[in-house]
Amino acid sequence: MAADYSGKATCIALTLRKTETMDETYDMVIIGGGPAGYVAALRGRQLGLSVVLMDKERIGGVCLNRGCIPTKAILSDMEGVLWTRRAVREQILDREPIVDFARVMHRKNTVVEKMVSNLERHLTATGVRTLKARAKVLDQGVVATDQGDSIRGNNVLIASGSRSWTPPIQGADSPGVVGTRQVLDLDRIPERLVIIGGGMIGQEFAAIFSSMGCRVTVLETLDRILNPVDKEIARKYMSLLPGRGITTHVGARVERIEKVRDGLRIVYEKKSKESIAEADLVLMATGRRPFFEDSGIAESGIELDKGAIRVDPFLRTSVEGIYAAGDVVGKNMLAHVASYHGEIVAENIAGRNREAHDDLVPACVFTMPQIAWVGLTEEQAVESGRPFRTSTFSLAANGKAMAMGEARGWLKLIEDTETGRLIGAHFMGPSVSELVAEMTLAIRKGMSAADIADTIHPHPTISEALREAALGLLDGPVHAASRTKTFKGT
């Protein structure tokens, strides 16, 4: 995660044909320079469209500038720190590491700067014109910028992203209460950090700061952390947190934040009792909402659906010639979905009729260990009423995980017993984010456990445990027992 995930990416990518002058009517105007916008621009160039890309900030959106990439740079450093601490415990090294926070932040900034610069050069090299400006839809096919330009386009793509959302908590605007934008611009490690929100963003930051030696407390309103994650996997992950210096309170509704002499006091209610957490810094990690204010949505008559832009399977809005992609659609607010949407819009504007199939989306939480999943959770499978079986395989029986010293992990597969098809995959362990694409393809193509088991997986790798989990739905794993469950359906 990165600095305030509240990035209000109000940009425009425009597709030009024969001229670079702003007086022309362009093929496509894209509001938003994040993954949906810049991918649409690049794909448009591949298809023979000319492109102008505008953003009020730097190209790349929240993900590249203030989200996915900067936090992964820091997490990579912290994984090294955790390895070093294990090496000290096992007397491989003779001293504990000392984290130079300034250098960590410097490397994070260097990684981001390099990636953004490379993207800007790539856009220029492919013939995309980039402008730094705010944009607003004035009328069908007409977009205005805050620099006084009026730009015409045959098609408009709104890809203005999302912004962080803060619940109405008294004192949420107090000094020392920060969002995800500000937390990645800190100049020192807080001794005590309270994170309000136990979802994906909150857990990633908890992993980052606890590994730096910070005492972290997570306050989650719901009765569990990581609500989108399979409940069993989330429970197993939560059991690891005390050993990482992370205190977690679920069912905790924050009432107010007070400034006190030595920091901040967070007052919350849990089980009808008032409790207090103390901190030097409070991070609001309470989720994100589609952002399209000031982009002319209301004036253009575009229909909304529960605070997001309504689109059809081709990502067309209710107004002819205007498309929407990425977080503003509000369905799966993930960078890889936004990129996928951007490609589809560019292809449809170029004359290809391509529908978005975004009902099966892999997701990852870059904690330590990582969590990744795709398809139905066990709870969703129960709610569907279908008969199914699960197989869970422990990484304690996986050679690579043991060699890495990271054997506390599990891989879980869910199979529809009527069809024999896999319908869900849920992982927790080292580098499991690299496994989920295989299972996304398998589920999308209607594959079975036998298909996975009949595929040779390389040794020694974590992926071998995936094959063992699949064997658990057949005759059983070779190297250890798996745990299986059967649900007969309703």
Catalytic residue numbers? 459
Peptide bond into 460 cis (omega under 30): yes
User: Taking the CB of residue 85, how many other CB atoms lie within 10 A of it?
Assistant: 14
CA 244, 249, 250, 252 torsion-angle sign: negative
Q: Do 442 and 431 form a contact (C-beta atoms < 8 A)? A: no
Coil, strand, or helix at residue 1? coil
The helices-and-strands tally (H runs, E runs) of the chain is 14, 26
DSSP letter (8 states) at residue 244: G
Whole-angstrom Cα distance, residue 405 to residue 369? 11
- The CA distances from residue 159 to 130, 275, 375, 388, 407, in Å, are 15, 42, 26, 39, 41
Whole-angstrom Cα distance, residue 3 to residue 211? 19
- The CA distances from residue 318 to 148, 274, 288, 311, 312, in Å, are 27, 48, 24, 7, 8
Q: Do 436 and 413 form a contact (C-beta atoms < 8 A)? A: no
424 bridge partner residues: 375, 414
Q: Do 1 and 205 form a contact (C-beta atoms < 8 A)? A: yes
Whole-angstrom Cα distance, residue 439 to residue 407? 21
Whole-angstrom Cα distance, residue 254 to residue 213? 25
CB-count burial class (<10 Å; 0-12, 13-18, 19+) for 278: middle
User: H/E element holding 403?
Assistant: helix 399-404
DSSP letter (8 states) at residue 170: B
Q: Do 28 and 44 form a contact (C-beta atoms < 8 A)? A: yes
Whole-angstrom Cα distance, residue 338 to residue 331? 10
What is the residue whose two structure tokens read 């099966």? 360
194 bridge partner residues: 217, 282
